[in-house]
Structure 1
Amino acid sequence: MTDPGAGPVTGTPHAEELSRLLFDKDGPDHSHDTWRELVSRDEFRYDPHLTRTERIAQSYRRLRLVNDTLDHPEDLARNPGRLAALHEWIGFTDGGLCTAASIHYNLFLGSLLDHPDPDHPRDLTPYTTLTNTGTFLCTELDHGNDAAALETTAHYNPRTNDFTLHTPTPGARKFMPNTSLTGGPKTALVAARLITGTQDHGVYLFLTPLHTHNQPHPGITIQPLPPTNGPTIDHCLTSFHHVRLPRHALLESDHGRLNPDGTLTSNLGNHRKRFLHSIGRVTTGKLCMSAGCLGMARAALTTAVHHAHTRHTTGPRPGQRIPLAHHRTHHAPLLNHLATTYALTFLHRTTITQYTHHTPHNKTHTERLIALTKAHITWAARDITTQCRERCGAHGLFPHNGIADLTHNIEGGITAEGDNLVILTKAAAEILLTQPPTPPHTPPPHPNPHTPLTNLTFLRNLLAHTQTIWHTRAQQALRQGPTKNPTQRWNHAAPAALTTATTHTQLQATDAFLTTINHTTHTPTKTLLQHLCRLYLLNTLTPHTGDLLAHNHLHPHHIHTLHTTTNHTHHTLTPHMTTLTQAFQHPHPTPTPPTTPPTPHKHTPSGPGERTCAVGQRPDPARRARARSRPR
């Protein structure tokens, strides 16, 4: 068996070539450069002097700067790839901006565009010029992941040909939309049950002006919520007391059209399908949330790798100073996360392409992949940013270094547009129940011990075998679960089913990685990516080596060489850490020093070799010269 990419990285890998592959710069709708240039402007730099309210207002000012770059904001809302690219660059810049942009362009403006009214064409100018910001009110205090059961009502009045929007109980108040007066006038799309007479037609969206610059409209109550640890945005409780809405406030399409007599015509047979159609923009929202968190992971790695090379500590010889990056204990976790981030970036690109070109035939499969991608990326991004913050020590705690708030902002992405565990569980059940069972694989009686763990094809197939093992295990658990109790039966199979879904997603990421490797003819870059993909696969497979050994896919010799292969891969990749992060094209690769206090306090070393060196600040050259001159 061949051993592709097992040799050393000869020549110089180019960050530019890596960037081309990461950001699809040859694609038909490349827009990453536009957003990178935008967030590079001074208006997007961190200001430590703002209060929470001022920071929220700043996010809305920045939203207008985003809008100023657009010739036609409607085109952004219609283009999932360009919309996701925006979130990759604003996510690490401003969590509140990322939230507001996702809501305005995708959930609000996108939903309006998806439900045109041929009889009463809407004037979208207030929303495309951002004289009026859009927001989206679906989740209620008592209804989150079960939003299809929400209680807000919109009664149709056939005599006056309008609706009455009402919040019937305290638990029906809309929970956490950005509806405060901060940021100027706002209009909402409110999810409510359409009621005609005594008949409930299910959940639809209603266009509802909320307030002017100064006060809410009559019948609307807006109560600010306490600050969260996530993105800084104006979360509120919002309720409606018999608010009158015009007939054209209802967003209609073939999934539901209201006749003058109060009857409803729909091509969908049940309330759940109508609800899912009404909030269909949540699917694109999942791509936006995973894109924003992916950008945060890349930003955290850029800062942490820069710190690892500029922060010096005591070396093995008297007076010697060496960068933190020289220590395997420091750089190995960063390299592991770099491998994961590259894999997940390529997965996200593949998922967007599949969504952009999906057909009715593969729509369900595509939406499942989007859900799996969102859960996998956002969870991984949280782990990556947490580790990167830790690798930066105390300096990583300062917001001006652009890393302290990332994990909290990612928490918002984990919950938004479908809680990760819920959407992963749904996808796992679909994989288990609707995907054809994977054909059984008959392993050889004796796996070849001479097949090296550096062989990407071999490693990729091991991951496919892992998915098959867990898929079979989940099916067996489902069959063996208690009968006549669906909940307990699913509980019996759920742990194995979730692992099946996770390994399935990891396999999709691997295939996306391997496909990308084939898209470069630059040999040093190709070799570097092969080593990085190998590291991703070795780390992914390590928890499953027991199963692979038991099922005759691995030989004991492989288990003995796993650690040394991983260790050698770390050694090979270490000199290229900076190149790998330079390819991320972070607009502010060297964080600025703190602006408060104006003059840094004198630091007293707390131990041997301890010294002051902010993230991104190079060690004092004179100090290094003195250290080199000392006798060894």
Structure 2
Amino acid sequence: MTPLPAAAPPSAVTEALSAVIFGPDFRREHAFWRRLTTTEPFRSGTCSTPEEQLALSYQRLRLINRSLDSAARLACDVRALTAMHEWLGPVDPTLATVAGIHYNLFLGSLLDHDSEGRRDLSGPLRMDEIGTFLCTEVAHGNDATEVETSATYDRARDGFVLRTPHAGAQKFMPNTSPVGGPKSGLVAARLVVDGADHGVFLLLVPLTDAVAALPGVRVRRLPARMGSPVDHCLTSFDDCFVPRTALLAGPQGHVGEGGEFAGALPSRRRRLLVSIRRVTPGKLAMSACAVGSARVALAVAVRYAGHRTVAGPRGTGAIPVYAHRTHHGPLAEALATVFAMSLLHRRALDRWEVSADEADRAAAERLVAVAKGWITWQARDVIVECRERCGAQGLLEHNGLAALVTGIEGTITAEGDNLPAHAKAAAEMLLLAPQAPAHAADGATAPAGLRDPAVLRGLLAAVEALRFARARARMGAAPPGDALGRWNAASGAALRGVEEYAVRQAAEAFAEAVAALPEGAARERLTEVEWLFLLRQVGRSAGELLAVGRMTAEQVRALPDLHEEAVATVAAHAPALVESFALPDELFAERPIAGPAYADAYDDPEGAWHRTAPAGAAGEAVR
């Protein structure tokens, strides 16, 4: 492997690949957020305590709000929302968290449930108050239909009284402290009218002023969480009264002026899903955070590998550590994964935007949920690998990787834990998954066929179908009458099928992106990255594909050498591929190991090497 060449200025190749990663309209969707990260208020500052970092993040949130033409844009435009997370997530994870809650979950939900414009939203639009979202409880997370906070209609006062019945019903982890300014929240509570429980609805509740919680509201800070500091709290209600207009009404139901409940949706679960439908754009935002964070980690690791030198073979002098296959191999594979993550994120975003009728919207929601899980899990693997490739330097906070390692954990859990979301998708897809073809297509069984992306995609589709076929068979063999037992028998294989579904969706996104590029170097580079991704994914299931006749023994034997060829090809073009992430120079300037003079960050002005050698001593002062 030859030494890693220096990164060149953006070329036609890197610009074409940037368009693949970010979509065709970078200027409209991404340029503002990219530029924002280079401005002084958003440059990495030195905060000595987590509380200082938290206060800075809220200051930045208000700066963003003042810089927008309309704060409603981030609530109404999912592309703007996700672009914000893509760029700000790696720079200030706390800011991305509180901004997503305010603009999407809070303001977006208010706008969704106020189509006639009757509610005064000037306060949250001006950010006189910061919005938050209170759904999860200590004892209820993914089972949100079971939350126990109650909102009981009081006819005499024409409003609702919120109560927390026990410790397990405290709202868990909303950012409800007075830090950052007055807070209002959307509270998920059981709507009780005349003794009848109508299920979980959202209500708009003022929570704090700039100093403390308001009457009827109790807020207590939770212990510090791993990763970026957010003012996560336990929040409870003691006869907290809000007017009837605080209820977010719509097709899920409403309480009329006479105090009578009316609802068009008979299912309590559907009522809740309509109320919290902003969770799906939130999943897209978490995917964007993960994609952006993985890009930054990978770009820093590739740069560091190019200028960190080690002793080469005898007589060759120092060489970049990147020259070793043991170093550049994992980074090349991470490059292929990050491209796949980026393309799958864009595919899920596109699908969500164009989904219209209910059936199509359900499929789009499923893709968004599956993509969020796969992307955030892959991002964790990439970030951890990149941190390790940077050695001890990667552990130091000023190099920016340590925060990404801990920060990615938040995206895995936020907007619904990955595993339950994938389990829900698995249950749905058991009824939808196609049967696996018995054998490979003619002409696709020779080793040369593994150079054809179409053949490799066909193998991935076969693996997906095999996983679901196994799940259905296991479910059918389980004793009847035991729903949990049948699911437990099938769930392992079904979850692996969901993973293969995500991989296939990423592979199809790769194929579409390659086909959209004209012949030339950019298309060649993307095809090489696609090939490495596909080979790696097929290699995970080669034994099973061999067993069912979808691959030959000759193909399985050829896979390792083909994989090595693909790694070497992608690794040779790593600088151009990383440049296509369009990361600003200012971001690298704040991470010492991203530059060739990283050792200067550790220089000691009082060090002996700065002193002139004594008179008559041989040699001169050494730097």
- Give the alignment's TM-score, normalised by structure 2: 0.91
Which of the numbers 522, 529, 534 marks the counterpart of 1:532? Answer: 529
8 A Cα contact 1:306 1:590, kept in partner: no
In structure 1, distance between residues paired with 2:340 and 2:443? 31
- CA spacing shift, 1:72–1:596, aligned 2, 3 Å: farther
1:205-216 equivalences under 5 Å are: 205-216=202-213
8 A Cα contact 2:474 2:489, kept in partner: yes
Aligned counterpart, 2:562: 565
- Please report how far the alpha carbon of residue 14 of structure 1 lies from its aligned counterpart in structure 2 after TM superposition: 1.6
Residue identity matched to 1:540: Q
1:400-479 equivalences under 5 Å are: 400-433=398-431, 435=432, 437-438=434-435, 440-443=437-440, 448-479=445-476
Aligned with 1:574: secondary structure?
helix
In structure 2, distance between residues paired with 1:87 and 1:198? 43
Aligned with 1:467: secondary structure?
helix
- Please report how far the alpha carbon of residue 148 of structure 1 lies from its aligned counterpart in structure 2 after TM superposition: 1.0
In structure 2, distance between residues paired with 1:299 and 1:603? 34
Higher mean C-alpha displacement, 469-478 vs 293-302: 469-478
Aligned counterpart, 2:113: 115
Which of the numbers 305, 308, 314 marks the counterpart of 1:308? Answer: 305
2:17 corresponds to 1:14? no
- Please report how far the alpha carbon of residue 417 of structure 1 lies from its aligned counterpart in structure 2 after TM superposition: 0.7
In structure 2, distance between residues paired with 1:388 and 1:75? 35
Structure 2 alignment gaps of length 5 or more: 1-10, 608-621
Aligned counterpart, 2:216: 219
Write out per-residue CA displacement over residues 421-446 of structure 1, whole angstroms, 9 at most, x where no aligned residue.
0000110111002x153364444699
8 A Cα contact 1:447 1:555, kept in partner: no
Aligned counterpart, 2:144: 147
2:328 corresponds to 1:331? yes
Which of the numbers 603, 606, 620 marks the counterpart of 1:600? Answer: 603
- CA spacing shift, 1:45–1:113, aligned 2, 3 Å: same
Aligned with 2:187: secondary structure?
strand
Aligned with 1:140: secondary structure?
coil
In structure 2, distance between residues paired with 1:502 and 1:603? 55
Which of the numbers 578, 583, 589 marks the counterpart of 1:581? Answer: 578
1:44-123 equivalences under 5 Å are: 44-116=42-114, 118=116, 121-123=118-120
Query: Which one scores higher on RCO, CA 8 angstroms, separation ≥ 6?
Result: 1
Higher mean C-alpha displacement, 424-433 vs 211-220: 211-220
Aligned with 1:194: secondary structure?
strand
Residue identity matched to 2:573: H
Residue identity matched to 1:425: A
2:279 corresponds to 1:276? no
In structure 2, distance between residues paired with 1:522 and 1:405? 40
Which of the numbers 367, 370, 375 marks the counterpart of 2:368? Answer: 370
In structure 2, distance between residues paired with 1:170 and 1:100? 25
In structure 2, distance between residues paired with 1:439 and 1:465? 5
- CA spacing shift, 1:50–1:130, aligned 2, 3 Å: farther
1:161-172 equivalences under 5 Å are: 161-172=158-169
Higher mean C-alpha displacement, 383-392 vs 34-43: 34-43
In structure 2, distance between residues paired with 1:490 and 1:144? 21
In structure 1, distance between residues paired with 2:181 and 2:89? 22
Residue identity matched to 1:94: D
In structure 1, distance between residues paired with 2:561 and 2:266? 59
Aligned with 1:452: secondary structure?
helix
Write out per-residue CA displacement over residues 92-121 of structure 1, whole angstroms, 9 at most, x where no aligned residue.
011111110110000000000000174x82
Aligned counterpart, 1:290: 287
2:239 corresponds to 1:242? yes
2:485 corresponds to 1:488? yes
8 A Cα contact 2:54 2:94, kept in partner: yes
In structure 1, distance between residues paired with 2:418 and 2:530? 25
8 A Cα contact 2:47 2:53, kept in partner: no
8 A Cα contact 1:15 1:582, kept in partner: yes
Aligned length: 591
Residue identity matched to 1:600: D
- Please report how far the alpha carbon of residue 265 of structure 1 lies from its aligned counterpart in structure 2 after TM superposition: 1.5
Aligned counterpart, 2:395: 397
8 A Cα contact 1:443 1:551, kept in partner: no
2:27 corresponds to 1:24? no
8 A Cα contact 2:443 2:449, kept in partner: no
Structure 1 alignment gaps of length 5 or more: 1-11, 605-625, 627-632
- CA spacing shift, 1:319–1:533, aligned 2, 3 Å: closer
Write out per-residue CA displacement over residues 604-625 of structure 1, whole angstroms, 9 at most, x where no aligned residue.
9xxxxxxxxxxxxxxxxxxxxx
- CA spacing shift, 1:512–1:117, aligned 2, 3 Å: closer
Residue identity matched to 2:235: T
8 A Cα contact 1:293 1:413, kept in partner: yes
Aligned with 1:453: secondary structure?
helix
Write out per-residue CA displacement over residues 376-422 of structure 1, whole angstroms, 9 at most, x where no aligned residue.
00000011100000001111111221111112111111111111000
- CA spacing shift, 1:364–1:444, aligned 2, 3 Å: closer
Aligned counterpart, 1:124: 121
Higher mean C-alpha displacement, 382-391 vs 157-166: 157-166
Higher mean C-alpha displacement, 348-357 vs 436-445: 436-445
- CA spacing shift, 1:170–1:391, aligned 2, 3 Å: same
- CA spacing shift, 1:497–1:380, aligned 2, 3 Å: same
- CA spacing shift, 1:335–1:148, aligned 2, 3 Å: same
Residue identity matched to 2:394: G
Aligned counterpart, 2:549: 552
Aligned counterpart, 2:517: 520
- Please report how far the alpha carbon of residue 373 of structure 1 lies from its aligned counterpart in structure 2 after TM superposition: 0.3
- Please report how far the alpha carbon of residue 572 of structure 1 lies from its aligned counterpart in structure 2 after TM superposition: 1.4
In structure 2, distance between residues paired with 1:441 and 1:359? 35
8 A Cα contact 1:73 1:128, kept in partner: yes
Write out per-residue CA displacement over residues 468-519 of structure 1, whole angstroms, 9 at most, x where no aligned residue.
2112111111111122111111111111101111111100100001101112
- Please report how far the alpha carbon of residue 598 of structure 1 lies from its aligned counterpart in structure 2 after TM superposition: 8.4
8 A Cα contact 2:177 2:212, kept in partner: no
In structure 2, distance between residues paired with 1:117 and 1:242? 30
2:204 corresponds to 1:197? no
In structure 1, distance between residues paired with 2:160 and 2:327? 61
- Please report how far the alpha carbon of residue 267 of structure 1 lies from its aligned counterpart in structure 2 after TM superposition: 1.4
- Please report how far the alpha carbon of residue 25 of structure 1 lies from its aligned counterpart in structure 2 after TM superposition: 3.0
1:334-345 equivalences under 5 Å are: 334-345=331-342
Write out per-residue CA displacement over residues 24-76 of structure 1, whole angstroms, 9 at most, x where no aligned residue.
1337x931111000011122222234311111011101111221221011122
- Please report how far the alpha carbon of residue 459 of structure 1 lies from its aligned counterpart in structure 2 after TM superposition: 0.8
8 A Cα contact 2:440 2:551, kept in partner: no
Aligned counterpart, 1:4: none
- CA spacing shift, 1:207–1:540, aligned 2, 3 Å: same
In structure 2, distance between residues paired with 1:439 and 1:569? 28
Aligned with 2:448: secondary structure?
coil
In structure 2, distance between residues paired with 1:333 and 1:260? 64
Residue identity matched to 1:549: L
8 A Cα contact 2:340 2:510, kept in partner: yes
In structure 1, distance between residues paired with 2:439 and 2:47? 64
Aligned with 2:588: secondary structure?
coil
